[in-house]
Amino acid sequence: MLSIKFYGVRGSISVSGDEYREFGGNTTCIQIMVSDTSRIGILDAGTGIRQLGKDIMALDTDQSEIFIAFSHFHWDHIQGLPFFAPAYVKEMKINILALGHNRKIENLKDIFGMQMQREFFPITMDEMGATFNFLSINKHSEVFMPPDGIPVKMTAAKHNHPGGAYSYRYERDGHCVVISTDIEHGEEVDPNIVALAKNADLLVHDAQYTTEELKTKKGWGHSSYDQAIKVAQKANVKKLIITHHDPEHNDDFLRKMEKWCQQRFSNCEFAREGMIVDV
């Protein structure tokens, strides 16, 4: 079984205060855990990865290698890495993964090293302690072999977002999770993302705006609630989780929109920090 845990569900910038208590204020970070082995993989390193790192350190596990896959490298998806506790453990190996054709990034290390320059942060990446391995794989899909010998297949599809971004399909032992965040579909939902999500057990999809809000946010790189639901319906997914909540959307607003979405797609929830979904 796979367990998906949300450590950061907010888009663009982290927020705090009583009006954000239910859904949470940290930026994007999602844990994928193989339940029966406690092996952890991570998607994106927004501010939510700080708590995830603390939880990993508290686990009774011998895991000494962690994969962090990145949808893209905008600030709200990388800013938590300097606060990820396992990165300061000398025995830990951290694989920074960017999978997918036609990525424009030439040097992954430079991206993370830049935000930890002396001008911005007191500790450089080379001083953190862990061994970092930067994997930029220019392929549509790749199969990884974890210690338990059950292969994991990851498939990437490029989608529309300023600077470029990728959706991922994660398949293991007959279970399938698709994560598509920071995606702007346009007038029609992207058929490539529908194909990527086909018959998935779980689709995690960006929906930062209402349909009306999206009219004034064209080119900003995000989706509406209506578009996320259309992808789920066209792809025949079993469950839809909507994430990347706008920092202007408080708990009352998100609760109202969640009910609206559930009327359209019954097996739908909005992501909340700490939420666990078993697949």
Split at pLDDT 50, 70, 90, the class of 108 is confident
Q: Which structure tokens are listed for 272?
A: 């909340």
CB 86 within 8 A of CB 95: no
Split at pLDDT 50, 70, 90, the class of 62 is confident
DSSP H helical segments within 108-161, as ranges?
Answer: 108-115
pLDDT of residue 249 exceeding 70, the answer is yes
- 28 secondary structure, DSSP code: P
Split at pLDDT 50, 70, 90, the class of 28 is very high
Question: How confident is the model over 159-201, as pLDDT tens digits?
Answer: 999 999 999 999 999 999 999 999 999 999 999 999 999 999 9
pLDDT of residue 23 exceeding 90, the answer is yes
DSSP H helical segments within 59-207, as ranges?
Answer: 108-115, 191-196
**Residue 24 CA, distance from chain mean position:** 15
Note down the domain range covering 126: 2-138+153-278
DSSP 78-111: TTTGGG-GGGG-TT-EEEEEEESTT---S-HHHH
Torsion of CA 7, 11, 15, 17, to 10 degrees: -70
Residue 145 lies in a domain: no
Question: How confident is the model over 211-244, as pLDDT tens digits?
Answer: 999 999 999 999 999 999 999 999 999 999 999 9
Mean pLDDT rounded to a whole number for the chain: 94
Q: CA distances (Å), 236 to each of 32, 40, 187, 194, 212, in order?
A: 22, 27, 21, 9, 26
Nearest-angstrom CA–CA distance, 170 and 259? 28
Residue 157 lies in a domain: yes
Residue 119 lies in a domain: yes
The per-residue pLDDT for 16 is 97
CATH number assigned to the domain comprising residue 188: 3.60.15.10
Split at pLDDT 50, 70, 90, the class of 37 is low
Residue 225 lies in a domain: yes
pLDDT of residue 118 exceeding 90, the answer is no
Number of domains forming the structure of the chain = 1
Output 254 or 118, whichever has higher pLDDT.
254
Residues pairing with 240 in the sheet: 203, 268
Average pLDDT, stretch 44-53? 98
pLDDT of residue 102 exceeding 90, the answer is no
The per-residue pLDDT for 36 is 66
